Amino acid sequence: MRHTILALSIALMAGATQARAGLVTYTMTGTITSALPNYAEYYPIYAQGDRISWTLQYNTSMPMYTYTTTANNASQLNSPLITSIVDRTTGSSFYVPATMYVPPYLEQAGADARAGLRLTSGSLSSIAAGQDQLGVTSPEEIYNADLMLKVNGPLPTLNLANLQLNQLSINTSASSFEYSFAADMMPGGQASFTASVDSISAPKYGTPEPGSLTLFLLGAAGLAARGVRRRRLLAVG
């Protein structure tokens, strides 16, 4: 029975490790270095010098497609990588699509969507996360968010499960975060800024599903009860 419980424990730990190596989230902060004139009638109030925060979230097991033979990999996803964009100075939040999916009627109108993560390793490596969408709610709307992290020296690994961004030597002067959203091309219909990358938090990993933990505990309790009953029967016999 002890061996069985040990095996279940190992299985649970393996499941937790798999979840840990799956979804990962980083919180980043920066400062707006340049911005288009802000039109509060349409968009949140923001200005040069404001503190900005956002999250970068991805699955470390997502497929990476090789574009060249020089360790240059990229992925294409349907869900945003960059979310929770907030101006910490004013408390305003910026629009981010819930999904990069484009409805069929917008596809017919020429709309498109993209979200991807690209790694390039070299003397000055780069980690680029970008997402854009045309025709968010109408064919005229354009959304874009791009994060560029420049790393001094080659990346230690191209395996996303083993790559911790907060432990890299980030070249802050060459790194940036850009955001833009346009409802139309007329004055007052656009929001756009560029920000520095000032800090990267430690990674926050996904946790095992509650159902897995519950099943493990129920199984372990059942085995323990069975063992107690067996020992009583042996003692009586």
pLDDT digits (tens, 9 = 90+) for 85-112: 999 999 999 989 888 876 665 555 555 6
User: pLDDT, tens digit, for every residue of 207-225?
Assistant: 544 444 444 444 545 545 5
pLDDT given at position 70: 46
17 pLDDT higher than 60: no
Q: How confident is the model at residue 194 (pLDDT cuts 50, 70, 90)?
A: very high
67 pLDDT higher than 70: no
User: pLDDT, tens digit, for every residue of 133-159?
Assistant: 876 556 567 889 999 999 999 999 988
Average pLDDT over residues 50-54: 97
Average pLDDT over residues 115-141: 84
Six-digit token pair at 196? 């520095």
